[in-house]
Structure 1
Amino acid sequence: MKKILLVLSGISILFFLSCSAHRSPAAVTEIEGGVSSILSYEPETGVNKFCMDLYGGQKDAAGNVLFSPFSIYTCMGMAYEGAKGATASEIQNVFHYQIDEAVRHESFDGMISTINAPGKQYQLSTSNNIWVEQTMPLLTLYSDVLTTYYHADSQNMDFLNSPEASRLYINTAVENQTAGIIKNLIPDGSVGSDTKLVLTNAIYFKADWLNQFDPNDTGMEDFYTQSGVTVTVDMMHKDLYRNIEDYYGAASVLELPYVDNEVSMFIFLPSNGQMAVLESRMTGDNVANWLSSRIKYTVGDTLVRLTLPKFSYSFDISLTEELKQMGMPTAFSPLADLSGINGSGGLMISDVVHKAFIEVGEIGTEAAAATGTIIRGTSWVITEPFSIDHPFIFAIVENSTNTILFMGKVNDPTL
């Protein structure tokens, strides 16, 4: 039996010893003066705003797109806890972190605790790790914040004498945290004897659909890609009672919940050829407002005849240049101030890498239509097709906080 399987790689941040002095205090003060005017949000809102900002830079990719805004946001959050001055201001502006430390820490603690809560009928877990050069002591305050509020585990490494062995050790840990899916997160050559710290986050998700597809109903059908090429894909079919929702006139949206109704996939389907219109309205504020204003867990009176392609793909990216362009170049330069990590500074970010993988398919043979019938209970039926036979955007959302765990765009399910 096939299972739905979604895995996010951890992202990693590598810190190298800087060879020159930090930015002058006067320049830092000038930038810091504007911090109070920067909008900040609690983590679940900040995740979604960052998600849409990052997606804006990836949406023109010719192939499929996939990343976990939660993982990137959390891993960079651990770096932000040690940033000062201009470095902190730029990171905050890109990631929309909550400036109030108490609120930020409590919110990260709550969000991670929700994801790692026991007793679920599905698998959803996240892991944070601090891999630190054994000759560089961390500030107690910095270490305590990461272990207490980010639930991070800390381990000393011998980057100085054994950088390659350290890299392989970290990659093995991340592979284990993602059920063997994400391999070689930290690429060859990215860790050297001057590496001082590697921060990683990994998230793993595996769940059955609440309304499962029958493999016997799957057949080969056409999918019309954004480039105009028609490909033949495995199409799954399911009749289920759901409401088809509207997203600001730019897309029809179908929520496909997983077991327990605690996590859902939202499929944003524009009219054929109108992906650019949808993407222009996929802003952080628009998505946040739409998610918070919609009525959750409604089954609806429409019998949806769903046609959904099976798809499986991975996505690897170095985020270094992207984050610089989004407004945080200082963290990647010798002018970086990450003195909140070790008390003396001399650190800079050398790279931020990210890997993700997703596989969507049929699961089991349970009768899902009963759920829809119970809610509506009408004696008449409206039937409406929802045929996903052209490019679409999807988001997997933790429903109690509206946190986007995964986001992607499928241009071609055969890639």
Structure 2
Amino acid sequence: MKNAFKGLAVIVAGILFFIASLSAIKSVGSRRAVASDEKSENTDIEEDTNDSAETADTTPEGDDDMTDISTNFDEELISFLEKSGYSDKNYMVSPASFRAVLALAVAGADSDTKTSLIKAMGFVNEEEMNEWYNNVLFAPDTASGFITFKMLNSAWHNTASKGSINETYRQNIRQLYHADAEDVAPDKITDAVNDWVNEGTEGLVPKMSDDLSQVDMVLANTIYLKSSWVENFEKMNTKEGDFKSIDGDVVQKDFMEQADFFRYYEDADGKLVILPMQGDVDVIFMLGDIEDVCDRIVDCESDNVHIKLPKFETEASFDNSELTEFMKSRGAGIAFSPEADFSAMISDSEVFISDIIQKTKIKVDEEGIEATAASMIAVLGAAPPGEKIETREFIADEPFKYYIVTDDDDPKILFYGQIVK
């Protein structure tokens, strides 16, 4: 992922993915029971009303560490997108939403199609994939009231298409992913999907598609996160300043500013600072090209840091086959071909994945962060388409990167991004 952030656009490549440690898994038990008692609708994980896909090597070994697999997936997804033309663009991507919507496809796949998708997502088997999903679902501490996190899933079957939803599939995705599978008329399916996405992203992604009337089946996921800084930036300290773009231009931005003790790391390749957020989430801002960022977190030490960061807002849309091509490059090509086997999803019809679309948006200001992602899979049945303390300086008036991660002994990346102009 070296030199992955050279472009000077606000690339908020949001990587929403995390795998909880064993202690986190134990803490999930009681919380999961609460979620399971709710209606079999999508579970909202919010302040008071709680609700609740990536790849590594295409041939993961059974004793591979799950964290390593996921980290490889993150890096390879970012690298693939940048090689596809995003290195100098503003963007945010969510591997977690990507993986989650793929999990809905895995639940309906069989034979080699199922195996190839699981491996391409970076998992050894379906059980590990489902364990990952539950860890993501319950990782943020929503009980604090200062963070809103919800992860929703749903499926729609076009009643004009051949075949019908397999009832076992309908039951499985409801039980495993709190997802409903609805039968919808062709003239209603587009609005049904768009309305659901708009609600799940709190209006940040109002529409996924203009026309889904020809699609046999739609699978969708949304992830929404809103959290405040533990130490807010004072609005009175926000001032306009110069930001040096990667292409040499100087643009004006509103810079937030504060000085306090934060976890900090610096080496010859760059520097990073960690800002804690409510709900067991941290944000890592990085200048330079430090590799293995999550590994460097353990090397951070509390230091007095003067921070200047620009406020920003950006959105992105991956709707030009980028994500399908990435999955094909990971060895899951069969799922996108007429040879695909999704018989566990739709009975009496041969279907395949025709496209995967993701839309994202993020806002960062003095109070905190609001980020969201919506991912959709289109399934078709036709042919394929004290002393004086030294103050460290972290002045982000040039291209910088950031990571939103879980605050635990084994940090998991929730979002990844960069600001380049």
Q: Give the deviation of 1:128 after TM superposition.
A: 0.8
Preserved contact between residue 238 and residue 256 of structure 2 (Cα < 8 Å) = yes
| SS of equivalent residue, structure 2 residue 222 | strand
Preserved contact between residue 140 and residue 281 of structure 2 (Cα < 8 Å) = no
| SS of equivalent residue, structure 1 residue 339 | coil
Q: CA 1:123/1:117 → structure 2, altered by over 3 Å: closer, same or farther?
A: closer
Partner of residue 325 from structure 2, selected from 321, 324, 329: 321
**What is the TM-score of this pair, normalised by structure 1?**
0.74
Aligned counterpart, 1:395: 403
Partner of residue 137 from structure 1, selected from 164, 172, 197: 164
User: Which piece of structure 1 moves more, 397-406 or 75-84?
Assistant: 397-406
Q: Considering Cα pairs closer than 8 Å and 6+ residues apart, tell me whether 1 or 2 has the greater RCO.
A: 1
Q: Give the deviation of 1:360 after TM superposition.
A: 0.9
Q: CA 1:79/1:215 → structure 2, altered by over 3 Å: closer, same or farther?
A: same
Q: Which runs of 5+ in 1 are unaligned?
A: 1-5, 11-33, 271-276, 365-377
Alignment of 1:5-404 (within 5 A): 37=61, 42=66, 46-59=69-82, 60-99=86-125, 101-115=126-140, 117-134=142-159, 136-159=163-186, 162=187, 165-185=188-208, 187-189=209-211, 191-193=212-214, 195-246=215-266, 249-260=268-279, 262-270=280-288, 277-278=289-290, 281=291, 286-287=292-293, 289-290=295-296, 293=298, 300=302, 302-318=303-319, 319-342=323-346, 346-363=350-367, 378-400=386-408, 402-404=411-413
Letter in 1 for 2:361: F
Q: Give the deviation of 1:345 after TM superposition.
A: 5.6
Between the aligned partners of 1:8 and 1:394, the Cα distance in structure 2 is 9
Deviations 1:190-215 (A, max 9, x none): x233x222111111111211111111
Between the aligned partners of 1:327 and 1:105, the Cα distance in structure 2 is 21
Deviations 1:199-244 (A, max 9, x none): 1111111121111111111111111111122212111111111131
User: Which piece of structure 1 moves more, 59-68 or 124-133?
Assistant: 59-68
Aligned counterpart, 2:379: none
Between the aligned partners of 2:15 and 2:389, the Cα distance in structure 1 is 43
| SS of equivalent residue, structure 1 residue 142 | helix
Aligned counterpart, 1:368: none
Q: Give the deviation of 1:148 after TM superposition.
A: 1.9
Deviations 1:43-69 (A, max 9, x none): x76554322211112335322221111
| SS of equivalent residue, structure 1 residue 147 | helix
Q: CA 1:328/1:287 → structure 2, altered by over 3 Å: closer, same or farther?
A: farther
Aligned counterpart, 1:17: none
Paired residues in the alignment total 343
Preserved contact between residue 66 and residue 357 of structure 1 (Cα < 8 Å) = yes
Preserved contact between residue 307 and residue 386 of structure 1 (Cα < 8 Å) = yes
Q: Give the deviation of 1:348 after TM superposition.
A: 0.6
**What is the TM-score of this pair, normalised by structure 2?**
0.73
Preserved contact between residue 243 and residue 252 of structure 2 (Cα < 8 Å) = yes
Between the aligned partners of 2:242 and 2:142, the Cα distance in structure 1 is 41
Q: Give the deviation of 1:290 after TM superposition.
A: 4.2
Give the ranges of 4+ consecutive aligned residues of structure 1 lying more than 6 Å apart after TM superposition.
6-10
Letter in 2 for 1:392: F
Q: CA 1:146/1:294 → structure 2, altered by over 3 Å: closer, same or farther?
A: farther
Preserved contact between residue 129 and residue 152 of structure 1 (Cα < 8 Å) = yes
Between the aligned partners of 1:356 and 1:393, the Cα distance in structure 2 is 17
Between the aligned partners of 1:47 and 1:40, the Cα distance in structure 2 is 11
Aligned counterpart, 1:407: 416
Pairwise CA RMSD of aligned residues? 3.0
| SS of equivalent residue, structure 1 residue 340 | coil
Deviations 1:246-294 (A, max 9, x none): 47x533111111124x111111210xxxxxx55xx4xxxx355445x45
Preserved contact between residue 7 and residue 181 of structure 1 (Cα < 8 Å) = no
Higher Cα Rg, which structure: 1
Preserved contact between residue 8 and residue 182 of structure 1 (Cα < 8 Å) = no
Preserved contact between residue 286 and residue 401 of structure 2 (Cα < 8 Å) = yes
Preserved contact between residue 60 and residue 124 of structure 2 (Cα < 8 Å) = no
| SS of equivalent residue, structure 1 residue 243 | strand
Preserved contact between residue 263 and residue 275 of structure 2 (Cα < 8 Å) = no
